[in-house]
Amino acid sequence: MSRYPWQAPIWRSLQQAKGHNHLHHALLFSGEEGCGNEVFIQALANSLLCLTPATDGSACGQCRSCQVFAAQAHPDFMSVTLLEDKQSILIEQIRELNYFLGLSRSYSPCRVVIIYPAERMNVNAANSLLKSLEEPAANTHILLLTAHPALLLPTIRSRCQAIRLPLPTHQQAREWLSQQILQHPLEQLLETALGRPLTALELDSTDTLTQRAQWLAHLTQCMQGQGSITEISAHWEKSDKQQLLDWQLTWLLTLLKQASSDGAEPVTSELGYLRTLLNSNQILRMYDKLLELKKLSTHPLNSRLFIESMLILWQEQH
Ligand SMILES: [Zn+2]
């Protein structure tokens, strides 16, 4: 199980803590989705269970522990996640976990559990986990992973050591993506994915970039007083409103950065034209207005009207 380059520093510090026997029994990892964090904690679990880890702590991949881990049949490992069709992690799952922690070990020097997405534990499930966090069984590692740490109960957070998993730098994300086989331009993928490389790779196999380019073309038409707002709204009626809004906000932010960096920062070709149509004040104003609209986007409003109101904002810049 390979980790990602941007995770190297945090991996080293965890392995050092383990080497000094200082690894907290409950670790709460938080970090953005789309950055390989699930892979990271799987690799950590694998390494903690491995009988003969490498000098950097990586699992050997050969020992009997690694073999059963790879077969997803490790008797000292348990992963708790959302069951199919369920919105939360249930108390029954945590009870099973508590029972598991009470068993004697069979293969490895320790027992490891992963809970992900940890913020999805419902209140009963979270309360049921407290005892295992407070009075951990010997040689036990509880690894929680979440993209939304603020949604966890404070009682859970306070019993864990919090570890923030990093976003890759732009350079790291670029380097990693450039080693993948891509159909779309790398920079556009990365921008659309808000800098998250694994999300960018996923986007590459969808028609999202085409959709996005078409949406931009339609907005530009509105700004130029071309195209019918009614027809364009009808076209996008069934699309994800949040997504359409987020694209616009990302574009405006890129243009804003570009305007303030005196042209030093490159703008993707798709935005070059938009830039010629808007001055800095207009960009800021549009950004604020769209943010206002975003607050409404989760309400069950008429979808077509909502999209019309976005288009009208652009038309008003005409
Ligand atoms: Zn091993």
Residues 81-92: tens digit of each pLDDT:
999 999 999 999
204 has pLDDT over 80:
yes
Q: Thinking of the domain 207-315, which architecture would CATH place it in?
A: Up-down Bundle (1.20)
CA distances from 11 to 3, 37, 41, 89, 123 (A): 9, 12, 10, 27, 31
Neighbours of ion ligand 1 (CB under 5 A): 50, 59-60, 63, 66
pLDDT tens digits for 120-175? 999 999 999 999 999 888 899 999 999 999 999 999 999 999 999 999 999 999 99
What pLDDT is attached to residue 268?
61
Pinpoint the residues of the chain covered by CATH 3.40.50.300. 5-167
**Could you tell me which CATH number the domain at 5-167 has?**
3.40.50.300
Pinpoint the residues of the chain covered by CATH 1.20.272. 207-315
Q: How far is the CA of 54 from the centre of ligand 1 (A)?
A: 8
Q: How far is the CA of 62 from the centre of ligand 1 (A)?
A: 5
pLDDT tens digits for 243-261? 899 999 988 988 888 777 7
18 has pLDDT over 90:
yes
196 has pLDDT over 80:
yes
CA–CA dist 120, 215 (Å, integer):
33
Structure token digits, residue 30: 């938080």
Long-range interactions of 45-53: CB distance < 8 A, separation 24+: 45/69, 45/77, 45/112, 45/114, 45/141, 45/143, 46/1, 47/15, 48/18, 48/108, 48/110, 48/112, 48/141, 49/74, 49/76, 49/77, 49/107, 49/108, 49/109, 49/110, 49/112, 50/108, 51/108, 51/109
Q: How far is the CA of 27 from the centre of ligand 1 (A)?
A: 22
Average pLDDT over residues 69-75: 95
